[in-house]
Structure 1
Amino acid sequence: MNISSPAPSIGKPEKTHIRLGFVALSDAAPLVAAKVLEFGHRHGLTLELCRQPSWAAVRDKLLSGEIDAAHALYGLVCGVQMGIGGPQGDMAVLMVLNRNGQAITLSNRLTEAFEQHGNLKDALATPGRRPVFAQTFPTGTHAMWLYYWLASQGVQPLRDIRSVVIPPPQMVDALIDGELDGLCVGEPWNAVAEARGAGKTVAVTSQIWPEHPEKVLASRRDFVEHYPQTSRALIQTMLEACRWLDNSQHRKDISTWLAAPDVVGAPQELIVQRLLGHYDPAQFPVQPPGVSFFNEGAVNYPRPSDGLWFFTQFRRWGMLHGDHDDAAVAVALCQTALYREAAASMNVRVPEEMRADVFIDGRVWDGQNPAAYLDGFTSQKSASAG
């Protein structure tokens, strides 16, 4: 296998055995690759992977110190930082592990109604009750993608649907049992739902926000403060893993490891399909961007503006109130200086600090004026109501 030569050491890690949490999803691939190929050894680390049953378990074990760091939903980390719906803790985003790669799946009945009516709002009226959609954590990325997509389709998420939290591996069975009308989750569970005839993937999250941040490498802030060399070595290790995953053959290799019962526990052919960005051409005649792990370093820089976007959505949906300085919180959350040091030692390019992205509803986010961005949703809502 094509494994790069050892990177120059910056400093000896203070803590060498690292327990890493993850949930059964394909985008845990960087952690799995790092462990299987032992990328940590060249940086003085021994990794122990600890699969967790849910995102709530990841949160709780990060806060308790039972795990040192984790593959985590970006929105989960932001929610814990603000103490939304659970314990508050000062958190750290060490790097972004992937962009894109999530999807929205509707039940067969709702898919047919969507196609028949040509719009989602009318389709959602067909069950004769408030439809039930699942996401994976109240402040998580999947909740935010789901709500944003629904709103872009003229649906009010807080009124027109019932949103429930279900751990990713349990979603397909819930869809099959008729408990759900739709879901937003990471792969391979959308692919599994289609393969089992439970529903259809109708949107992928790169259509909502192209190249959006998804999972991050997260820890508590005091872990970074107590173990800065270890934290830097962990970023170096994961950068190696993410770079390795850019190769399509390596994605095929990792799909076999991910398929193991103690990792994801889903069919290898379904995992690799979406890892390679292959979607049903009948539903997606133009193939949307798939999951991205590295892209010459463009994926991994922890931009504070990315974290700040989640805070705007928390406020939009009534989860966050008060006069917190959201931008300052996002800057403290994202460990940009540490990341830059690790990236420089690995000859990994750091992208521009700011970027402007166009969302599915035509709105532009660049992180410059979050208050005006947030006000735009209120104006848009008032205009549509009038």
Structure 2
Amino acid sequence: MFNSPLKRINRHICHTLIAGCCAFFAHSATADELGYPEKEELRFGFIKLTDMAPIAIAYEKGYFEDEGLYVTIEAQANWKVLLDGVIDGRLDGAHMLAGQPIAATIGYGTKGEIITPFSMDLNGNGITVSNDIWQQMKVNIPKMPDGRPVHPIKADALKPVVEKYKQQGKPFNMGMVFPVSTHNYELRYWLAAGGINPGFYAPEKGDTSGQLDADVLLSVTPPPQMPATMEAGTIYGYCVGEPWNQQAVFKNIGVPVVTDYEIWKDNPEKVFGITKAFADKYPNTAIRLTRALIRAAKWLDENNNANRPEAVKILAQSNYVGADAKVIANSMTGTFEYEKGDKRAVPDFNVFFRYNATFPYYSDAIWYLTQMRRWGQISSDKPDAWYFDVAKKVYRPDIYIKAANSLIADKLIAAEEFPDFTQQDGFRQPQTHFIDNIVYDGRHPNDYINKFAIGLKAGDKI
């Protein structure tokens, strides 16, 4: 069993990935040795969320200019417009949902060769329900001695509410930001862990609603529109990034019940996406923009988040997130407000640099692929080797390592603040901090998929 052909193949692939990473550790070039950027004037896109912060900080602190890059930053209407802009060349790069480059590469939705040399953050999302739904859930949640709910709140507390709506013939609608977003997969993960089926996709049958066999109907709503859509009664809750959960609290229209930190501690969230063609044509530019983003991420986290108040003021500007600074600060400065007045310390709600947040791990990409398969966006079984191959196409630690090594050589960031690249194989250690206690090991994607009570497994089709 130990020396089975499949395990030998997996070991060979992992060793190949290790060699690919470590090859780039051999020489640490300084910025001067990297060469000039082949393209100096760049246009980057983003969505109005606080986790676009590394782009804003790289611009405002002059890190892009330090690299000889003259950048224009533009807010985009929605994730589809943003993705199309990168693929068609209107944008040179963008703040992206981690699932977007992966889905584009495998041809789910819009087809395109998108890569990422830089992971933008960990955590940063929450699930919010309307005040009415919260009152119905509340009776199912254990209380602490001071009367506040015990956290994390599991979807078990929502299940009786959903069942009541089904008995009354009412659809239970919730919002997420995009079919391949972390928010979609996190909301599905939370619901399924509580015994609620969020539904399946069947692209081979032409059904991309994601609502087949669903107990809860999930649909797309752009992030800034989430609070208003819920207030109008179109949806009863949503999963979104900040500041749009805290906005519901400030407007007194809803209650965030769980953060993604509680669903999966230190989960990867957004990435910076560029086309493979851009990286191939402008390799120095790709490394230099990655250098600037790494420096910005470090600034955001350094000295125990001491720079966050300044970052909040920057993000509150209308050309960036454009929300009230108090709303942005509620999560960006290490706290999070659940029910009105129930403010709790969550220092890692937004992580931009620590815990190796910026490194593009293959295992992060593979997790997204496992969820695409779990919910039917990937229609049929794939061998483990397929998952590894896709991850290697999309996530580019080679570019990151060149950028990081040059920052080390320039004495801008110490080597110990990065992973040990000589030992790096692109996979995180097995991760245990999930709300359902299921362990994720990116080296064994099919074994992981088969662990879930709700979701497609080996051989399953819709």
Amino acid at match of 2:351: S
Change (3 A) 1:267 1:380: closer
Instruction: Show the counterpart of 1:150.
Output: 191
Matched, 1:290 2:313: no
Matched, 1:198 2:253: yes
Select between 179-188 and 251-260 the one with higher mean Cα deviation.
Answer: 251-260
Instruction: Show the counterpart of 1:251.
Output: 308
Instruction: Show the counterpart of 2:137.
Output: 114
How far has the Cα of 1:73 moved from its partner? 0.6
Larger radius of gyration: 2
Amino acid at match of 1:290: F
Amino acid at match of 2:419: V
CA contact (8 A) 1:80 1:88 kept: yes
Select between 142-151 and 112-121 the one with higher mean Cα deviation.
Answer: 112-121
Matched, 1:37 2:75: no
CA distance in 1, matches of 2:332, 2:454: 38
CA distance in 2, matches of 1:161, 1:288: 31
Instruction: Show the counterpart of 1:350.
Output: 419
CA distance in 2, matches of 1:219, 1:45: 15
What is the 5 A alignment of 1:79-228?
Answer: 79-84=103-108, 86-118=109-141, 119-127=157-165, 128=168, 129-158=170-199, 159-228=214-283
Amino acid at match of 1:266: A
How far has the Cα of 1:378 moved from its partner? 5.2
CA distance in 1, matches of 2:292, 2:400: 12
CA distance in 2, matches of 1:235, 1:284: 35
CA distance in 1, matches of 2:198, 2:191: 6
Instruction: Show the counterpart of 1:3.
Output: none
CA distance in 1, matches of 2:380, 2:295: 40
Amino acid at match of 1:241: A
Amino acid at match of 1:176: E
Select between 262-271 and 370-379 the one with higher mean Cα deviation.
Answer: 370-379
CA displacement, residues 288-317 of structure 1 (integer Å, 9 cap, x when unaligned): 73110011x611110011001100000000
Amino acid at match of 2:216: I
Matched, 1:263 2:320: yes
CA distance in 2, matches of 1:224, 1:336: 13
Instruction: Show the counterpart of 2:373.
Output: 315
CA contact (8 A) 1:9 1:43 kept: no
Structure 2 unaligned segments of length 5 or more: list them: 1-29, 142-156, 200-213, 409-414, 458-462
How far has the Cα of 1:39 moved from its partner? 0.7
Structure 1 stretches of at least 4 aligned residues deviating more than 4 Å after TM superposition: 6-9, 281-286, 378-382
How far has the Cα of 1:381 moved from its partner? 8.6
Change (3 A) 1:288 1:152: farther
CA contact (8 A) 1:76 1:141 kept: no
How far has the Cα of 1:323 moved from its partner? 5.2
Change (3 A) 1:230 1:327: same
Percent identity over the alignment? 31
CA displacement, residues 132-188 of structure 1 (integer Å, 9 cap, x when unaligned): 111111011110110001111111111111111011011111111111101000000
Amino acid at match of 1:350: P
CA displacement, residues 204-223 of structure 1 (integer Å, 9 cap, x when unaligned): 00111111110101111111
Amino acid at match of 1:114: M
Select between 247-256 and 231-240 the one with higher mean Cα deviation.
Answer: 247-256
CA distance in 2, matches of 1:220, 1:381: 31
How far has the Cα of 1:360 moved from its partner? 1.1
Change (3 A) 1:177 1:339: same
Amino acid at match of 2:37: P
CA distance in 2, matches of 1:288, 1:75: 26
Tell me the SS of whatever aligns to 2:322. Answer: coil
Amino acid at match of 2:127: I
Change (3 A) 1:284 1:308: farther
Change (3 A) 1:379 1:126: closer
Amino acid at match of 2:188: Y
CA distance in 2, matches of 1:130, 1:78: 31
Normalised TM-score (structure 2): 0.78
Q: What is the count of residue pairs matched by the alignment?
A: 375
Tell me the SS of whatever aligns to 1:164. Answer: strand
Which of 369, 372, 382 aligns to 2:444? It is: 369
How far has the Cα of 1:18 moved from its partner? 1.3
CA contact (8 A) 2:120 2:358 kept: yes
CA contact (8 A) 2:121 2:271 kept: yes
CA distance in 2, matches of 1:164, 1:73: 16
CA distance in 1, matches of 2:283, 2:176: 34
Q: Calculate the aligned-residue CA RMSD, in Å.
A: 2.0
CA distance in 2, matches of 1:144, 1:380: 12
CA distance in 2, matches of 1:133, 1:27: 22
Change (3 A) 1:268 1:285: closer
Normalised TM-score (structure 1): 0.92
Amino acid at match of 2:171: R
CA distance in 1, matches of 2:172, 2:217: 6
CA distance in 2, matches of 1:181, 1:26: 23
Structure 1 unaligned segments of length 5 or more: list them: 1-5
Tell me the SS of whatever aligns to 2:233. Answer: coil
